[in-house]
Chains A and B, each alone.
Chain A
């Protein structure tokens, strides 16, 4: 079943005085099926972050549209965007974006509180999620008291607790050491295997080699895509590296 459709997406930024235009996205098209685990790769300036911001409805495209479950996000009125994000999307950021003023439990509860859920429901929902992410024991600590890997797991718990249609992850391993990064990728794999759709933007070949499909973005367009098929992680790693090398050395499409 198609969950997400991205059609002819364009985004042009004008500089402050409006005389120079920068084309961040020229024409992006792809679809995501329910339960897919997609990684989007590309160099700095390839439009990754712009794409993610538009998918997250934090930014509006100049042209084209994003369709989630058959409904275009462009049609959502401004005032409903926040609740749309809250109900349908889960976010995981590179720098965790946990609030220092809240304990981990409260950080995880935040989207539910905003959605007006009762305390009983929240406490019930957090139990399986925190158990699965291995953070049950540290729920009452504060973000400044725990490690980066723990912070990111907490951020994932916050993304999962609303049962989102799709999880958008922006360089989730970017601020983690290799050990924590590996553990985190395991977590992603685990939640994906239980049916959660994930869309991850990353620089890291290692992170991307965990995904079921990798999209390569260059100069605001999908340059190439790779399906995992029956490949192992290591094989994926090789293929992705080769593709990136080919892209960097100017190879043509479908190399």
Chain B
């Protein structure tokens, strides 16, 4: 037999014979390659490049995430595969194949897998890319570009990435073979049946880390703070999950075992002892599943909610469809601007409604002991600061249509999330609160990142005094209204308004800063972004789901082989088949649904924090998010359940 033909032949045979392990691995490789190609296709396609800038960025981010995840995931699955094959490779070694020969066979195996993966994966990716593009365009409310395209860049990147991944996998396998002794290879999976020790410190640390993560998630109130703390909490929960599964579970099980009246019963005897060992071997796998499941759930529910709530969030950032602001209008400028705006609206044949018109000084400052301090800032990103709108009494009276008289040291106040007790001071002057306002027309909903918001009404003289006493902020004129007509008409009207205002600014000789914000112009941006996020959420969710399913499959398979012997012995000692089935079922059920249950608990604790994060996107609808989360959990649990039933069947087949 010629040696050169021997390796490739044996490699093919090996892949075929190990198809129970290899087939899911290859399928996963193909799926990840296809998904990576599609992601690249979307990110680097001229058709999509034109769609939207934000989208382009999101897709590139997606490429990196998918690529990174593919690498980790394939590496993990490979180590699983190799562990199961150790015995086989050891046998080759003992039968006279040198390590060099084994390396040769492994090289060809990897080569074949790489070829199959790249060809099938990219082909599948190309086939599905158009469909994905359709879905994406539908989500972001764009028209679908015509034609069918193949992304050369996508193909190249996929080839680079996956050749790289497989090369690293091959090298790690060769190193593993090089370092091993044949007798160890032969024993393979059977080593390490020793009873795990209880690691109390780790067990307690796990509970503490998880508790701390949960605590942060519950206590955090401010949205901007939430972003940073969210990552801290996520990290703590991940650490906590790993420790909980590896150390705490064993500590708990051992505690159960030390109670004879609980332990020595038919219902608990086999499961408890079995679980101790199972947790030792599979704790990391279970923790992985739990974390992946949590990620899928958070990502999908978050992005679905964001997408469904787009209309809501637009409404929150735009109390009226159009908001015009002019900073520091002097003299008659305010009236000039108003009539220019009103004229362009009338000229466009549209009508205004729901008008809010007021003049105020808006600033940020830190409130301490009922004192707003001495310095007023135009803008803040400090979450413990307060946003204040200061109005003169005459403006507020005009808005309400009544006359309001306030003495110099008196004020009306409207406060979000904060209580002031009777009085406050501002720029060194004390004010007595004579009325607490229940509502204010222009700012309908609390949707801003800064949780503390005040509207203060003071006497006209005091207002002028405050405006003059500092230089950092100048008063604004706020003019908000809804428009009749179609979206296109509104956008046209906006454009007309903009040029009219420009002319007014020139003719009045002032250089005031003017700004027009329109809900219809904002809509495209927000939909492109939220649609992009949803797409990415679903896409990554799908990949993580595949990963979860594969890990479960391999786990069931390896556990099946481990448990086979145990159950054979028990049958001889007097355990009937139904009893064995019952014992297996209870164990498998626990192992299977523990990660899911844990993931749901994680979600429950993360819920409040995620609602805070959604506030950043101006989303306040907690009910919507609750519904999205529940629906996502339900769908995920259903898929998980189906996978469970399928893999449990394989498990039973191996065991019996």
Complex: how many Å from CA A75 to CA B566? 28
**Interface positions of B from 286 to 341, Cβ below 8 Å from A:** none
Stretch at the interface among A109-117, A173-181, A197-205, A233-241: A109-117
Whether B266 contacts A114 by the Cβ 8 Å rule is yes
Min CB distance A82 to B, Å, is: 3
Interface string of B346-366 (1 = CB under 8 A from A): 000000000000000000000
Chain A hits for B261, CB < 8 A: 119
Interface string of B556-577 (1 = CB under 8 A from A): 0000000000100111111111
Which residue in chain B gives the minimum CB-CB distance to A58? B572
| Known contacts A113-B266, A122-B264, A101 near B566 by CB under 8 Å | yes
| Known contacts A82-B577, A114-B266, A122-B264, A102 near B572 by CB under 8 Å | no
B50 beta carbon closer than 8 Å to chain A: no
A245 beta carbon closer than 8 Å to chain B: no
Whether A79 contacts B574 by the Cβ 8 Å rule is no
Whether B266 contacts A86 by the Cβ 8 Å rule is no
Complex: how many Å from CA A236 to CA B203? 61
Whether A110 contacts B269 by the Cβ 8 Å rule is yes
Complex: how many Å from CA A232 to CA B120? 76
Interface string of B248-285 (1 = CB under 8 A from A): 00000000000011001110010001101100000000
Complex: how many Å from CA A86 to CA B574? 5
A187 beta carbon closer than 8 Å to chain B: no
Whether B260 contacts A82 by the Cβ 8 Å rule is no
| Known contacts A142-B195, A144-B194, A111 near B573 by CB under 8 Å | yes
Complex: how many Å from CA A86 to CA B571? 10
- Give the number of chain A interface residues (Cβ < 8 Å): 32
**Interface positions of A from 80 to 124, Cβ below 8 Å from B:** 81-83, 85-87, 91, 93, 97-102, 106, 109-111, 113-116, 118-119, 122-123
Whether A113 contacts B574 by the Cβ 8 Å rule is no
Min CB distance A152 to B, Å, is: 14
A11 beta carbon closer than 8 Å to chain B: no
A48 beta carbon closer than 8 Å to chain B: no
Chain B hits for A91, CB < 8 A: 572-573
Whether B572 contacts A101 by the Cβ 8 Å rule is no
B495 beta carbon closer than 8 Å to chain A: no
Whether B264 contacts A113 by the Cβ 8 Å rule is yes
A165 beta carbon closer than 8 Å to chain B: no
Chain B hits for A142, CB < 8 A: 194-195
Interface string of B233-260 (1 = CB under 8 A from A): 0000000000000000000000000001
Q: Chain B: interface secondary structure?
A: helix
Which residue in chain B gives the minimum CB-CB distance to A116? B266
- Give the number of chain B interface residues (Cβ < 8 Å): 25
**Interface positions of B from 180 to 237, Cβ below 8 Å from A:** 193-195
B578 beta carbon closer than 8 Å to chain A: yes
Whether B574 contacts A82 by the Cβ 8 Å rule is yes
Interface string of A148-167 (1 = CB under 8 A from B): 00000000001000000000
Which residue in chain A gives the minimum CB-CB distance to B264? A119
Whether A110 contacts B274 by the Cβ 8 Å rule is no
Min CB distance B192 to A, Å, is: 10
Whether A82 contacts B264 by the Cβ 8 Å rule is no
B579 beta carbon closer than 8 Å to chain A: yes
Min CB distance A169 to B, Å, is: 13
Chain B hits for A113, CB < 8 A: 264-266, 269
Q: Which of B265, B276, B576 touches A82 (beta carbons < 8 Å)? A: B576
Whether A99 contacts B266 by the Cβ 8 Å rule is no
Chain B hits for A79, CB < 8 A: 576, 578
Q: Which of A85, A93, A98 touches B574 (beta carbons < 8 Å)? A: A85
Chain B hits for A106, CB < 8 A: 269, 273
Min CB distance B580 to A, Å, is: 9
Chain B hits for A119, CB < 8 A: 260-261, 264
Q: Which of B193, B260, B269, B574 touches A100 (beta carbons < 8 Å)? A: B193
| Known contacts A100-B193, A116-B266, A119-B260, A110 near B276 by CB under 8 Å | no
Whether A97 contacts B569 by the Cβ 8 Å rule is yes
Which residue in chain B gives the minimum CB-CB distance to A113? B269
Complex: how many Å from CA A99 to CA B195? 12
Whether A101 contacts B273 by the Cβ 8 Å rule is yes
Complex: how many Å from CA A184 to CA B260? 31
Complex: how many Å from CA A161 to CA B274? 22
Whether B260 contacts A110 by the Cβ 8 Å rule is no
Whether A102 contacts B273 by the Cβ 8 Å rule is yes
Min CB distance B269 to A, Å, is: 5
Complex: how many Å from CA A97 to CA B565? 9
Min CB distance A4 to B, Å, is: 18
Complex: how many Å from CA A162 to CA B193? 28
Interface string of B463-475 (1 = CB under 8 A from A): 0000000000000
Which residue in chain A gives the minimum CB-CB distance to B260? A119
Chain A hits for B570, CB < 8 A: 99, 110
Which of B276, B576, B577, B578 has the largest count of A CB atoms less than 10 A from its CB?
B576
Chain A hits for B574, CB < 8 A: 82-83, 85-87, 111, 114-115
Which of B195, B274, B572, B575 has the largest count of A CB atoms less than 10 A from its CB?
B572
Whether B573 contacts A86 by the Cβ 8 Å rule is yes
Chain A hits for B274, CB < 8 A: 101
Min CB distance B196 to A, Å, is: 11
Complex: how many Å from CA A85 to CA B569? 13
| Known contacts A114-B573, A119-B261, A101 near B266 by CB under 8 Å | no
| Known contacts A101-B273, A101-B276, A83 near B265 by CB under 8 Å | no
Which residue in chain A gives the minimum CB-CB distance to B569? A97
Complex: how many Å from CA A144 to CA B194? 8
Whether B575 contacts A82 by the Cβ 8 Å rule is yes
Chain B hits for A118, CB < 8 A: 264
Which of B193, B194, B569, B570 has the largest count of A CB atoms less than 10 A from its CB?
B569
Chain A hits for B566, CB < 8 A: 99, 101
Interface string of A49-85 (1 = CB under 8 A from B): 0000000101000000000000000000001011101
Additional pairs, 20, CB under 8 Å, beyond known A87-B574, A91-B572, A113-B269? A82-B571, A83-B574, A83-B576, A99-B273, A99-B566, A99-B569, A101-B195, A101-B273, A101-B274, A102-B273, A106-B273, A110-B573, A111-B573, A113-B266, A116-B265, A119-B261, A122-B264, A123-B260, A142-B195, A158-B573
User: Which 3 A-B pairs rank lowest in CB-CB distance, beginning with the nearest?
Assistant: A86-B574, A82-B576, A119-B260
Q: Could you list some 22 contacts between A and B, CB below 8 A? A: A79-B576, A82-B571, A82-B574, A83-B576, A85-B572, A85-B573, A98-B569, A99-B273, A100-B193, A101-B274, A101-B276, A101-B566, A110-B269, A111-B574, A113-B264, A114-B574, A114-B579, A119-B260, A122-B264, A142-B194, A142-B195, A144-B194
